[in-house]
Chain A
Amino acid sequence: MILILLTIDLEKDIPIYTQIRNEVIKALATGELTAGDSLPSVRSLAADLGVNMHTINKAYNILKGEGFLIVNRRKGVVVNKAENFKATIDYYKNLEEQLQPILNEAQCRGMTKKEIISTINKMMKMEGDL
């Protein structure tokens, strides 16, 4: 059974539920978590991380709303099938909206397109990448 590490920083400005959401999505992106894998119960995760149960509930609800997780009556909270959270037209729009100011800022600060792309390459590892 592999080790799936989830790290949060209690003093960061980013809300803890967002940090948890981001960590789960990171594990999905790297393939540590795949369809059908179950996540700890709200109570258990709250106790291990030492954060309020509402926080975990909120993170799980966001992930459910985004289609990444589903509730299985037997296994608890499980990862949804990949086809259920494929990028939609709405998502593309949203992605562009969020990326625009970030890319603009990078451009203002004198980064070239090449530098930005190499940064992205460094941050994203995908199947087939060398």
Chain B
Amino acid sequence: MITTTLTIQIIVLLVVMITLYLTPFFSSKDLAFGIRIPYQERDNIHIKNIKKRYSLFSLIGYTLVLLLFIVTSMPLNILAMVLAILLTFVVCSVFYSLARNQVKSYKGKMNWQVSTNSSKVTIDTNFRKKRIAVSPYWFLLYIPIIIATIVISYFMYDQLPDMLNTQFNNLGAATNSMPKSKALLIAPIVQIAIALLMYFTNYIIIHSKQKNRSEKGNDGRFRFIMSLSLFYLGLTIQLIMLGTQATVMGLISPSILTYGTLATVLVFVLLILGIGLRIGQDGWKLNSEGKHPEDGMSVSQNDDQYWKWGMFYYNKMDPAVFVSKRVGLGYTVNHARPLAWILYSIIVIFIILVFALTL
């Protein structure tokens, strides 16, 4: 049993490592570690070497973390796992920043021209009338699952013991219990919170800033696939929470829940990796509709300065609140907009509220 837990933990660690390692390669070819370079220079020997070094050092770093985890880990100790994940993130950010700085200083030396088209913006005024995301009504499909969770809890309530087990170790033995009136509330509250979160994220997918049409890619197709994946993720979480409720009530065994959860998480991660590698951020790997971009010798835009540490978008001149991420998949906020900070606060309050209601 102990070895199974260790195996699961190693799988989770590996999945985190692979995802983090691949993330820089999801973005468009004219972005090397978040720095804008000319399309023509993407396979430049210097850039290639920086990418190679990043790959080699990350690989060594992640292997060391993994070995350290296996050697020192006591599988029952959750702290070892948390520490390992933390170390993984440290390895990722160190080698990512190193590579980023190398590209940055190389760009400084090269003095690449900025494209004469850099000031041109082309957009499709019909963009949001197209099918770029699943309908918001789809998220109503979560409601029957939430109702099912509440209904089975309601009908089982009188037959259940006063105290219910809410946490289990890898041997299937209970490690924590709660009064049933409280324990049965957790799943429905999480379900409602997740439903709202998914609905809101779908809104962001629809409304975030449109990609400039003179850049390569199919933004609309990308958004639709992201929206579909989001819906799928939400659906599996709803079902996992229904399973959790059934486990707490003693209807199914904790190990079924564990393996079920692990399987769904793995499927989702594979889905995201597949999107990242086959479709790319903003669908840059897909054929463009409309205008075709020229593969330029010059930098398409000089927008590096708006991405603080290559991660946080801050552009006072841009009225857009939601924009595409520079590195990775999906969307982020423009930190120069007050609304972005209001949303952050709402999310923090929301999380605190969910915790307060469930703990």
Contact = CB atoms under 8 A, between A and B. Distances in A.
Bound pair (A, B) = yes
A5 B119 contact: no
Contacts of B126: 1-4
Interface residues of A, number: 27
A25 interface: no
Contact of B291 (A5, A8, A9, A11): A5
A62 interface: no
A9 B119 contact: yes
Given A7-B120, A48-B210, A50-B209, A40 B317 contact: no
Contacts, number: 71
Interface stretch (B127-135, B179-187, B236-244): B127-135
Contacts of B319: 43, 46-47, 50-53
A10 interface: yes
Nearest to B124: A3
A12 B117 CA distance: 11
A72 interface: no
B317 A50 contact: yes
B94 interface: no
A4 B120 contact: no
Nearest to B207: A44
Interface in B107-127: 119-127
A82 interface: no
Contacts of A6: 122-125
Interface string A26-47: 0100000000001110011111
A98 B131 CA distance: 43
A48 B63 CA distance: 43
A103 interface: no
A49 interface: yes
Nearest to B337: A47
B209 A48 contact: yes
A113 B36 CA distance: 49
Nearest to B290: A3
Nearest to A39: B125
A12 B119 CA distance: 8
A10 B320 contact: no
A45 B317 contact: no
Interface string B284-319: 000001110000000000000000000000000111
Interface of A: 1-12, 27, 38-40, 43-53
Interface of B: 119-130, 207, 209-210, 213, 289-291, 317-322
Give the 6 A-B CB pairs with smallest separation, nearest first.
A47-B320, A11-B119, A48-B210, A7-B122, A10-B119, A48-B123
